[in-house]
């Protein structure tokens, strides 16, 4: 059964707790910024990426809104998303954990854009 995800706005960032499954079977709970400008699923610092990636990392080209391109490592990871364990793509090399539009697809994101305001992610009916 799908559950909603609750978070909070701090310093103008919509934040949620994201559970990632490490390759040793342990879980890691990371604070993640919900970034609607990021088209991917999850991005993370290399230390987190290396603990949770499944299999080999492959290089991918990343393009920013200003057209700048650079290379990052990509792999598959497993995360807890709306009460379900899902496999998704993760990129390394980020300065913080980000959740992007690929993971938000088919969900409703609600953010009250005030300090301490609620952040809610709910699955949409298909």
Domain containing 71 — which CATH number? 2.40.70.10
Residue 1: predicted pLDDT: 58
**Half-sphere exposure in the Cβ direction for 64 (13 Å, CA):** 7
Range of the domain at 105: 5-123
Tally of structural domains, the chain: 1
Residue 46: predicted pLDDT: 96
pTM equals 0.92
Residue 108: predicted pLDDT: 97
CB proximity list for 4: less than 8 A, separation 6 or greater: 82, 120, 121, 122, 123
Residue 2: predicted pLDDT: 76
62: phi then psi, degrees, rounded to nearest 5 = -120, 135
Residue 100: predicted pLDDT: 95
Taking only the tens of pLDDT, the chain with its 126 residues reads 579 999 999 999 999 999 999 988 899 999 999 999 999 999 999 999 999 999 899 999 988 788 889 899 999 999 999 999 999 999 999 999 999 999 999 999 999 999 999 999 999 986
């Amino acid at each position: 059964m799908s559950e909603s995800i609750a978070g909070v706005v701090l310093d103008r960032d919509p934040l949620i707790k994201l559970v990632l499954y490490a390759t040793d079977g342990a879980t890691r709970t990371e604070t993640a910024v919900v970034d609607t400008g990021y088209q991917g699923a999850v991005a993370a610092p290399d230390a987190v990426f290396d603990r949770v990636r499944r299999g080999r990392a492959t290089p991918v080209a990343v393009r920013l809104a200003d057209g700048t391109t650079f290379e990052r490592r990509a792999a598959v990871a497993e995360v807890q998303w709306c009460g379900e364990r899902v496999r998704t793509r993760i990129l390394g090399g980020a300065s913080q954990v980000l959740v992007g539009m690929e993971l938000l697809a088919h969900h409703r994101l609600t953010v009250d854009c005030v300090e301490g305001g609620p952040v809610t992610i709910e699955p949409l009916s298909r």
